[in-house]
Amino acid sequence: MDDLKDARLYGGIGAILSTFGIFIPYTGLLILIAGLVLEILAIDKISRSLNDKEIFKNYLISTVVEIVGVVSATFFGIILLVFLVVRATTVPTHNMLRYGFLAFLGMLFVVLLILWTTSIISAIFLKRSFDSIANKLNISMFSTVALLYLIGAATSILFVGLLVTFIASVLKVVAYFNIPEAVTQTSSQ
């Protein structure tokens, strides 16, 4: 059962990189991506060890939804920013502040709405995946992490959710390092 042993290592290191990598100047995004890839490999190994394809499928959907949300919000934000700059150069000076401010508020609202919606959808699929792992490996920390991610996503619009999500990311490291070397599945009813 080297798969679980590898999953523990890949998942733990991946979670560390994806949690703290973004704080590293210049290479933070690359480190975050490397961490995400390691976590995907870990979940794949867990899914194979437990012979439950839904674990990986739900995790992959969660990851894709989150990436699509970030890319969409970034793309939409850039388009609206370009519109704002063009609008600011074509509107008479006495109306520029008012139009610029309204366009900025609109841009911010749409970008935050995209991020908020996709992070909630992503957290729902992550919860499904992590709850299955928690039940089958008897590691309740995965369920706790999943619940915190869902709470964090739902409350991120208030910005308190960002702290909850960070706490969930740190606890995810602990959850991965608690994975046993061999499968000891609990009986499901």
Among 56-60, 90-94, 109-113, which stretch is predicted with the lowest mean pLDDT? Answer: 90-94
Give the pLDDT confidence of 36-66 residue by residue, as tens digits: 999 999 999 999 999 999 999 999 999 999 9
Query: Is the pLDDT reported for residue 110 higher than 50?
Result: yes
Q: Which residue pairs, CB below 8 angstroms and at least 24 apart, start in 114-118?
A: 114/69, 114/72, 114/73, 114/76, 115/69, 115/70, 115/73, 115/156, 116/153, 116/156, 116/157, 117/69, 118/65, 118/66, 118/68, 118/69, 118/70, 118/72, 118/73
Alpha-carbon gap, residue 51 to 135, rounded angstroms? 13
Q: Do the domain assignments include residue 75?
A: yes
Q: Give pTM, 2 decimals.
A: 0.86
pLDDT classification of 184: cutoffs 50, 70, 90: low
* DSSP 3-state percent helix, strand, coil across the chain (nearest 5): 85, 0, 15
Q: Do the domain assignments include residue 69?
A: yes
Q: Do the domain assignments include residue 138?
A: yes
pLDDT, position 117? 95
In a 10 Å sphere around its CB, with 0-12 CB exposed, 13-18 middle and 19+ buried, how is residue 183 labelled? middle
Residues in the chain: 189
Q: Which residue type, as a one-letter code, is found at position 23?
A: F
Three-state DSSP at 184 gives coil
Query: Is the pLDDT reported for residue 166 higher than 70?
Result: yes
Mean pLDDT of the chain: 88
Q: Do the domain assignments include residue 12?
A: no
pLDDT, position 98? 66
Looking at residues 119-144, what average pLDDT do you find?
96
- pLDDT > 70 in the chain, percent: 89
Please give the residue range of the domain that contains residue 167.
53-177
pLDDT classification of 188: cutoffs 50, 70, 90: very low
pLDDT, position 91? 65
Q: Do the domain assignments include residue 121?
A: yes
Among 57-71, 77-91, 113-127, which stretch is predicted with the lowest mean pLDDT? Answer: 77-91
Looking at residues 122-139, what average pLDDT do you find?
96
Looking at residues 25-39, what average pLDDT do you find?
93
Q: Do the domain assignments include residue 83?
A: yes
pLDDT classification of 95: cutoffs 50, 70, 90: low
Q: Do the domain assignments include residue 116?
A: yes
Token look-up 């975050």 returns 32
Which ranges in 21-92 belong to alpha helices (H)?
28-49, 53-90
**What's the number of CA atoms in the CB half-sphere (13 Å) around residue 133?**
36
CA nearest neighbour of 175 among 144, 136, 129: 144
The number of folded domains in the chain is: 1
Q: Do the domain assignments include residue 29?
A: no
